[in-house]
Each structure stands twice: as structure tokens, then as C-alpha cells.
């Protein structure tokens, strides 16, 4: 089967969050299963220096955004058997960052239009076009409204995966014509309209043949008033074509038995000494005082979605109880400043790294004792699964994929528990759960060790989910 993944980011070339992991790992697994997969992403400025060899200029064409004409240069490189097509236009993508600009709507309209023209230019006749999130959301609409009979798309089916329903690609109504060259009648039809604007995410949902999200629990949440960010009616409309598949992690990249980025490798048998050695190195790296103190860690984008308003007060409480804290991530300026203030107050107990550093992230996963993830909402979450693999017990709010991947310890289930969980989004609930975990760490070390072993045994690989996606692709290709 010929599958095209289209997204705004993908490992190992461009990453701000879990989306990049999923696009790459799922593609890699599908390739192993024998499918032909290409990935199409923008050629961001920061990708340029990272590809040293094997980058070909494949073609050049133009796309029209209403009256404007923009050049597209397509480059190709191969990674792990996957062809990456990079859509280049310096004006739109040669910037030091991926998103967050006033013209993101226009940038991704250009990207979407360029993707539509790419297939005939590189002669790739896709069976499946799998789009991710709002950025390429208009593509199925563009093709179905404009070119349904074009030979190249004659047998193409569309799958959309929702990774983050909070970003809906909202544009003023005029942009339908001005960016996408689509008629205003479409707006009146209701297919693209959302809260009196155009939503590229909603449009993607309506026009795709199948829609998925990244965990079974998040599927339920998207169909509820509280958890759907306003999308529930649309999801109900799609009910029979809507699935929730739990993401996996790249178990090759994250493997404590062979990880070159950590100080001492370990497995389930040697985890106690192995984790202790990594913890010592980690604590020294941040100049913290007591290497034996319980260590709470976090690797995350620092955005409100991740439960920052619970995290910050809880960190103060934990430090006062003698714990150390190490955080790696970047995001909202206010949040970064709050964590800097925490470190300012407790320089020997708190280590903060603002930014992303892959080597350090691996050491944190290996050296931590407890991994904090009190997310307000979390369609899947990847950090908790990586933490489990390294035997760092996640403390999660039971929402979305966190609920589907962590079994919280409750005094009686040490044979199956592999972390800690709580339900209410309150500071009190999170602090109490952290203190409960701390108590198990301090006073029930045999239980704590058992939970570590349970966590390390969890199979979070992509194998299962990749098969579910493949099954979905096959079922939709067979539909008439």
C-alpha cells in the first residue's frame, strides 16, 4: 500500500512535541510491515544544517493563493527506508522556529496547497493520505471538492489523526477564497464553518474517510461536552468512522539496556544499581546536594495543557519535604519564569533546563524516581511511557492516554500497578498523590521496586498500534 503522511513536524528533522514522534515511529513501523510510506513536512530553516548528505532537489512548481503566486521547491531525503519530502519556500519556512507566527494560517495554507500538487509532480499515487492535526486539514476538502477525478487521486482515501483538539486552525471566512481558492458557498454549507469562522481541523474531520485520535479514552472525551473543545457534535456525526488507538514509543530509541546517552545501562534485574548510577550523575550535573533524596522529574513542553498550575505549587511542597526536582522543557514564558524562581529559592534541590536537550532528557528518564504528569488534558502523552520503560514511575492525572497507559498503585495492586494516578484537577489531589508516592518510596521500598519492575515490563512499542492503523487503512481502501 502507498501511504503519504502529512504533518507539520516529524522526527528526526523537526520536532516540538509528541506529534513528531508519532509521525516518524508509525511510519517506520509501517515500513517494517512492508508498506511504502512517504512523509511530507515543511523544510524549516533549522532542518537545513542537519542533513549533511543525500538531499536531492526533486522538483519545482508554483501554487496560487488566490492572486498570489508562490514558488515551491521540493527536496527529498531517505531515513530508515522512508522518503521524506520537504516543502521549501524561504519566505514561509526559513525561520528559526516552527510555529507561533501571526501568519501561521497562511504558511500552512501554502503547505497544504503545495502538498496537493506534489503527488503528480513526484508521480506518487497514494492509496492513503494520512494527515495530522489542523495544519494540513483542508487537503481532503481541496481534493474532494476540486480534483476528485484526477487519476492520481482516483483511489485515494483520507485519514485524519487528531493529536491536539485545542488547536483548530481558525481562520476568518474570507480566507477560504483568499488562501485556499475555495468558494464561499462551502461556508454556507456548514462543512467548513465553526463558530462563524473557518476551522481547518473541523474541515479535515468532515472530509476525511476515517478519523482517529491517539487513545481510546481521548476518543470518549472528544465525544463529550467537557472534553471535546467544542468538537463533540462533529465527532458524534463521525461516530462510526472514528477510532482511538493508543500511541506507542520508539522502543529502540528508548531502551535502558542499550542507551548510549545514559551513564550506566540496566535491565529489570539490574535496575536498582543502574538507576542509582544515573541518578547520581544527573544530580551532579545540576549541582544538587543530596543524591539519595527522592527525585521527581519532568520532561515536557511547558504549556498550560500540561497542568502547570498544579505543578508549580506541588514542587514547592515536595522540596519542603526533602525531595529534589529536575525539569527539562520549554514553552510559555510565564511558566519558564516560575520554574526559574523555584530554582532561585532552592538552588540545591531544584535543577531546571529550559529548552530541549536529547542527551539530558534520556539521563532524566533513567535517573529520576518519579515522573510528574498532572495534565489538564492529554490525548495520549509519551513521557509517561518512556518513563515507565526506564523504571521511573509516572504520577499522572487519569485523563486521555494517561488513563490508558498507567495503572495507579492503590495499596493492594502491587502485582499490576506501574505508576500512580489521581482524578480531580486540583492542587490538593496532585500533592496528596505525590506525597503518597513519596511515602511508598521512603517506607515500602520492596513495593516501590516491584512497581519499577512492572513499569519496565509494559509493552509500549508501536507494534500493536501500527497494526491497528494498517487494518484501518485496509478497511477503508476496500470500501467503495
Q: Is the Cβ of residue 164 or residue 217 nearer to ligand GLC in the bound state?
A: 164
Residue 383: CB minimum distance to ligand GLC, A: 8
Q: Tell me how many residues contact ligand GLC (CB under 6 A).
A: 14
Q: Is the Cβ of residue 303 or residue 414 nearer to ligand GLC in the bound state?
A: 303
204 binds ligand GLC (CB under 6 A): no
Q: Which of 381, 394, 408, 419 binds ligand GLC (CB under 6 A)?
A: 381
Residue 170: CB minimum distance to ligand GLC, A: 18
Distance CA 247, CA 156 (A): 24
Sign, CA torsion 259/265/269/273: negative
Q: Which of 380, 440, 452, 456 binds ligand GLC (CB under 6 A)?
A: 380
Q: Is the Cβ of residue 178 or residue 253 nearer to ligand GLC in the bound state?
A: 253
Residue 432: CB minimum distance to ligand GLC, A: 24
341 Cβ contact list (under 8 Å, min separation 6): none
The residue number whose beta carbon is nearest to ligand GLC equals 18
Distance CA 251, CA 264 (A): 18
45 binds ligand GLC (CB under 6 A): no
Within 27-155, strands assigned E span: 36-42, 56-65, 68-79, 82-88, 128-132
22 binds ligand GLC (CB under 6 A): yes
Residue 156: CB minimum distance to ligand GLC, A: 23
Q: Is the Cβ of residue 351 or residue 419 nearer to ligand GLC in the bound state?
A: 419
- Choices 11-19, 42-50, 110-118, 352-360 (CB under 6 A): range interacting with ligand GLC: 11-19
216 binds ligand GLC (CB under 6 A): no
Residue 121: CB minimum distance to ligand GLC, A: 29
Sign, CA torsion 357/362/365/367: negative
- Choices 256-264, 280-288, 326-334, 374-382 (CB under 6 A): range interacting with ligand GLC: 374-382
The helix/strand/coil state of 12 is: coil
329 binds ligand GLC (CB under 6 A): no
Residue 155: CB minimum distance to ligand GLC, A: 28
CA torsion angle for 49, 55, 58, 59 (degrees, to 10)?
20
Q: Which of 6, 19, 373, 386 binds ligand GLC (CB under 6 A)?
A: 19
Q: Which of 82, 214, 293, 456 binds ligand GLC (CB under 6 A)?
A: 214
First-residue to last-residue Cα distance in the chain: 17
Nearest to 211 by CA among 260, 279, 247, 162: 162
Supply 320's cell numbers. 519542603
163 binds ligand GLC (CB under 6 A): yes
Binding mask 234-253 for ligand GLC (x = CB under 6 A): -------------x------
- C-alpha distances (whole Å) from 455 to each of 182, 380, 385 are 50, 17, 9
Residue 306: CB minimum distance to ligand GLC, A: 9
Residue 378: CB minimum distance to ligand GLC, A: 4
Helices 445-457 and 427-443, packing angle to 10 deg = 110
Burial string for 192-225 (b: 16+ CB within 10 Å, else e) reads: bbbeebbbbbbbbbbbbbbbbbbbbbbbbbbbee
Distance CA 180, CA 193 (A): 14
Residue 7: CB minimum distance to ligand GLC, A: 10
164 binds ligand GLC (CB under 6 A): yes
- Choices 33-41, 183-191, 262-270, 379-387 (CB under 6 A): range interacting with ligand GLC: 379-387
- Look-up: residue for cell 474517510? 209
Supply 245's cell numbers. 488507538
- Look-up: residue for cell 509501517? 30
Distance CA 79, CA 205 (A): 30
Kindly list the residues in this chain that would bind ligand GLC in the complex (CB under 6 A).
17-19, 22, 163-164, 214, 247, 378-382, 401
Amino acid at each position: 500500500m502507498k501511504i503519504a503522511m502529512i504533518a507539520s513536524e516529524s522526527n528526526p528533522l523537526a520536532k516540538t512535541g509528541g506529534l513528531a514522534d508519532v509521525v516518524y515511529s508509525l511510519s517506520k513501523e509501517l515500513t517494517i510491515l512492508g508498506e511504502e510510506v512517504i512523509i511530507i513536512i515543511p523544510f524549516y530553516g533549522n532542518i537545513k544544517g542537519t542533513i549533511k548528505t543525500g538531499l536531492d532537489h526533486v522538483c519545482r512548481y508554483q501554487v496560487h493563493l488566490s492572486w498570489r503566486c508562490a514558488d515551491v521547491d521540493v527536496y527529498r531525503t531517505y531515513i530508515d527506508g522512508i522518503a521524506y519530502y520537504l516543502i521549501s519556500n524561504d519566505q514561509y519556512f526559513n525561520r528559526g522556529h516552527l510555529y507561533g507566527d501571526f501568519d501561521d494560517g497562511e504558511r500552512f495554507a501554502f503547505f497544504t496547497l503545495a502538498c496537493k500538487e506534489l503527488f503528480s509532480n513526484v508521480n506518487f499515487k497514494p492509496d492513503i493520505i494520512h494527515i495530522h492535526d489542523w495544519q494540513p486539514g483542508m487537503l481532503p476538502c481541496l481534493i474532494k471538492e476540486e480534483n476528485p477525478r484526477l487519476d492520481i487521486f482516483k483511489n485515494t482515501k483520507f485519514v485524519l489523526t487528531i493529536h491536539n483538539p485545542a488547536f483548530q486552525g481558525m481562520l476568518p471566512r474570507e480566507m477560504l477564497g483568499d488562501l485556499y481558492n475555495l468558494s464561499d458557498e462551502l461556508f454556507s454549507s456548514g462543512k467548513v464553518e465553526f463558530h462563524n469562522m473557518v476551522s481547518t481541523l473541523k474541515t479535515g474531520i468532515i472530509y476525511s474517510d476515517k478519523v482517529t485520535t491517539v487513545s481510546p479514552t481521548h476518543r470518549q472525551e472528544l465525544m463529550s461536552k467537557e472534553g471535546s473543545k467544542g468538537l463533540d457534535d462533529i465527532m458524534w456525526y463521525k461516530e462510526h468512522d472514528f477510532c482511538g488507538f493508543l500511541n506507542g514509543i520508539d522502543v529502540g530509541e528508548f531502551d535502558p539496556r542499550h542507551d548510549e546517552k545514559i551513564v550506566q545501562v540496566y535491565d529489570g534485574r539490574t535496575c536498582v544499581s543502574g538507576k542509582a548510577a544515573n541518578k547520581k550523575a544527573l544530580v551532579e550535573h545540576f549541582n544538587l546536594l543530596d543524591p539519595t533524596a527522592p527525585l521527581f522529574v519532568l520532561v515536557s513542553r511547558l504549556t498550560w495543557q500540561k497542568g502547570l498550575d498544579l505543578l508549580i505549587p506541588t514542587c514547592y511542597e515536595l522540596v519542603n519535604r526533602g525531595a529534589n526536582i529536575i525539569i527539562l522543557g520549554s514553552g510559555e514564558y510565564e511558566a519558564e519564569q516560575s520554574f526559574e524562581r523555584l530554582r532561585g529559592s532552592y538552588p540545591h534541590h531544584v535543577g531546571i533546563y529550559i529548552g530541549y536537550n536529547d542527551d539530558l532528557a534520556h539521563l532524566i528518564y533513567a535517573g529520576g524516581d518519579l515522573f510528574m504528569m498532572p495534565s489538564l488534558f492529554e490525548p495520549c502523552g509519551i513521557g509517561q511511557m518512556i518513563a515507565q520503560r526506564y523504571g521511573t514511575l509516572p504520577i499522572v492525572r487519569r485523563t486521555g492516554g494517561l488513563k490508558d497507559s498507567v495503572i495507579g498503585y492503590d495499596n493492594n495492586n502491587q502485582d499490576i500497578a506501574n505508576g500512580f494516578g489521581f482524578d480531580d484537577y486540583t492542587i490538593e489531589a496532585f500533592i496528596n498523590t505525590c506525597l503518597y508516592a513519596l511515602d511508598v518510596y521512603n517506607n515500602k521500598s520492596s513495593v516501590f521496586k516491584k512497581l519499577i519492575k512492572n513499569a519496565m515490563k509494559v509493552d509500549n512499542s508501536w507494534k500493536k498500534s501500527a497494526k491497528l492503523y494498517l487494518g484501518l487503512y485496509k478497511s477503508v481502501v476496500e470500501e467503495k
